[in-house]
Structure 1
Amino acid sequence: MVRRMRRLAGVAIGGLAALLLSFTLAEPVKAAPKAPPAGVDISGDGLAEPLRLRAESHPQHVVAVIEQVTLRALVRQSGKPKAADLGPKYTVVVLAGDVPKQTYDLYPEAVGGPRVFRPAKQPDSRKTTAAWFLGRVSMSETLRTAGVPLERTYESVSGGVGGGERIIPEDSLNPAEDINEAFGELRRLLLLNVAVMLVITLGLAGIALLIRRRTR
């Protein structure tokens, strides 16, 4: 009877340890990449005709321009800047398919830092209010690389009006992959610790059972 109990305990411990170790070797699930917006049109000073950027042909430029008008990441400005301080104006129209959905006015060379203006009248007829926002310091360089005739500038590392950008190329960083890898390593460590604790606990239980059987 004692030998049978020991064999069963050994089989249970081995199976449990193998199951837990198989979990630790599993790769973390990677989040599916988000599809870029359908496209943007850019018009303004120095452009004879609008720049028509589409996700199929210019995905990086489309995403970069969209980030400039993502208002939840920007700081709203209470007052209206002076017209003389705004500099050249560039209008960005965001498309869903071939349908214009949103429009914004960008001022990359405004005094005190870039500005973003959201007109009250939007292409999709949704109700909103006119508002000014402090733009990203990378606005000028983003528009320049997209094809807008602006002089080359250098992005700020530490921040600035509306939030800073990095000089390190975007494609050299992958936050989602780094986070998944960190969580995967943490999960492996935790599961390995749990497996060790279970093996020790079951081993002690088996020894206690064996001692109890022999002392009877």
Structure 2
Amino acid sequence: MGQRTGRRFVAAGALLLALGVTTLALGVTTLAGTPAQAAPPAPTTVTIEGDDLAEPLAVHADGNTELFAALLGQVDWLAGSGQTSSPEPADLGPKYLLVVLIDDEPTRAYELYPLAKGGPKAFRPAEQPDGSKSTAAWFYGRLTMSETLRAAGAPLPERPDSISGGIGGGERVIPEDALTPGEDLGRALGELRQALLLNGAVAVGITLGLAGIALLVRRRTR
């Protein structure tokens, strides 16, 4: 009777240990094999409209790559609640409407004021071309805004002092790393939670297995 009971405990302990190891292996395989989330479609065109432009300017991603990246860099960080209050209209100077398109479909629009008093300003309207809505907000613009728009064809005075490292290589009034949140934060937290749950399940399985073996050893030593 005692030997039969002992065999049962050995079998139970081995089963629990096997379950724990299998769970760990499956979890590692799942985490390693989880496909990355599909990246959102990339912008393909940027257009610029202004009162001093006879017709809108268009810069394509597959055309002038450097200029396209520089123009997109003027607005692709404009998120959050804004950095400054609404300036006085008289202090803004000429306005340029920059629209970001994906496959010829307008998605985002921003107002740029490269000659604003106190430095370039940017405005994000609440209603966007793709139908989404956010809070209207004002931002300090990049110091390279004027030269970047001029390179695209806007009739703005030359300001080479605002460029360092070529088009788009200037500095922001406020450091970028203080404004842009990590894009992968949500995904990283999700993977961390999944790993913690997996480790918890494995720990429980191994603990139960060890408890069964300890009980068996105790019975045999009596």
What is the TM-score normalised by the length of structure 2? 0.58
Identity of aligned residues (%): 26
Where in structure 2 are the equivalents of 1:22-171 lying within 5 Å? 22-25=26-29, 26-27=31-32, 29-37=35-43, 39-44=45-50, 50-54=56-60, 60=69, 63-67=72-76, 70=78, 72-75=80-83, 77-82=85-90, 85-95=91-101, 98=104, 104-117=110-123, 133-137=138-142, 140=145, 143=148, 147=152, 151=160, 152-153=163-164, 154-156=170-172, 160=174, 164-165=175-176
Residues of 2 paired with 1:205 and 1:15: CA distance? 13
Deviates more, 1:33-42 or 1:88-97: 88-97
Deviates more, 1:5-14 or 1:174-183: 174-183
Aligned residue type for 2:112? L
Unmatched segments (≥5 aa) in structure 2? 165-169
- Say if 1:10 and 1:141 are closer, same or farther in 2 by CA, change over 3 A: farther
Match of 1:6 in 2: 10
The equivalent position to 2:210 in structure 1, one of 203, 206, 209, is 203
Determine which structure has greater relative contact order: mean sequence separation of CA pairs < 8 Å that are 6+ residues apart, divided by chain length: 2
The equivalent position to 1:21 in structure 2, one of 11, 18, 25, is 25
Residues of 1 paired with 2:21 and 2:143: CA distance? 52
> How far off its partner does 1:52 sit?
0.9
Where 1:133 maps in the other structure, the secondary structure is strand
Q: Deviations over 1:172-196 (max 9, x none)?
A: xx94568756865775577446524
- Say if 1:203 and 1:6 are closer, same or farther in 2 by CA, change over 3 A: same
> How far off its partner does 1:88 sit?
4.7
Unmatched segments (≥5 aa) in structure 1? none
Aligned residue type for 2:176? E
- Say if 1:146 and 1:29 are closer, same or farther in 2 by CA, change over 3 A: farther
Q: How many pairs are equivalent?
A: 196
CA contact (8 A) 1:21 1:192 kept: no
